[in-house]
Amino acid sequence: MTRAIRFCAVRMLGLLLLTAIPAAADSARRALPAQVPTAYANECAGCHLAYPPSLLPAASWQRLMQGLDRHFGSDASLDASTVRELSAWLQSHAATGRAATERPPEDRITRTAWFEREHRHIQPAVWRLPSVGSRANCAACHLDAAQGRFSDERLRMPAGLSPAQRQTWRD
């Protein structure tokens, strides 16, 4: 291999690694923290995925915790002590950087800029499949959703996709 070709190969490898590092760091930032309060696992994950706190800014978590009696159409009320504990934990692990300044509509994770960008190619009919149910059911496609990891490398096609949807999924 000539020196010029070796130089180009090393440079290309370096560029590939530099583009992979932000994606890996971004994925790690969204993962569930190592220590999850028992109340979060029991109360929140009892009805839906225990979403990583980093998926919403602190202000969104504050509003959500203050409105548990009307939590997306359900009464998810908790005692005051548990609300204080979970609020503090959620806010201390909330989104940082640019995502921290966002105010997603209705404080919904599925309406954040990140979620919309990552799922822009999903057809509306896919969200309505019985195996998916809604945009909030991350585990329908993400194998590691329960751990707060949403890597493109660990996806599965949900049951019920049409042949055309299966082809789009592979693209």
Per-residue pLDDT reduced to its tens digit, 54-104: 999 999 999 999 999 999 999 999 999 999 999 999 999 999 998 889 899
User: Are 38 and 91 in a shared domain?
Assistant: yes
Label residue 34 by pLDDT band (50, 70, 90): confident
User: Are 90 and 78 in a shared domain?
Assistant: yes
Please enumerate in sequence order all residues whose Cβ is within 8 A of that of 91, keeping only pairs 6 or more positions apart, or say none. 53, 58, 61, 62
User: Are 91 and 41 in a shared domain?
Assistant: yes
Label residue 144 by pLDDT band (50, 70, 90): very high
- What is the domain extent for residue 9? 1-30
Specify if 84 maps to a domain: yes
Alpha carbon distances (Å) from 81 to 62, 85, 120, 121: 15, 6, 39, 42
Specify if 114 maps to a domain: no
Least confident of 15-19, 128-132, 163-167: 15-19
Specify if 136 maps to a domain: yes
User: Are 1 and 45 in a shared domain?
Assistant: no
Specify if 113 maps to a domain: no
Specify if 158 maps to a domain: yes
**What are the backbone angles phi and psi of residue 158, rounded to the nearest 5°?**
-70, 150
pTM: 0.77
Give me the chain's average pLDDT, please. Answer: 84
More confident residue, 60 or 12: 60
Q: Count up the domains in the chain and report the number.
A: 3
Integer Cα distance of 132 and 160 in angstroms? 9
- Per-residue DSSP letter, 53: G
Specify if 111 maps to a domain: no
Label residue 30 by pLDDT band (50, 70, 90): low
pLDDT at 16: 39
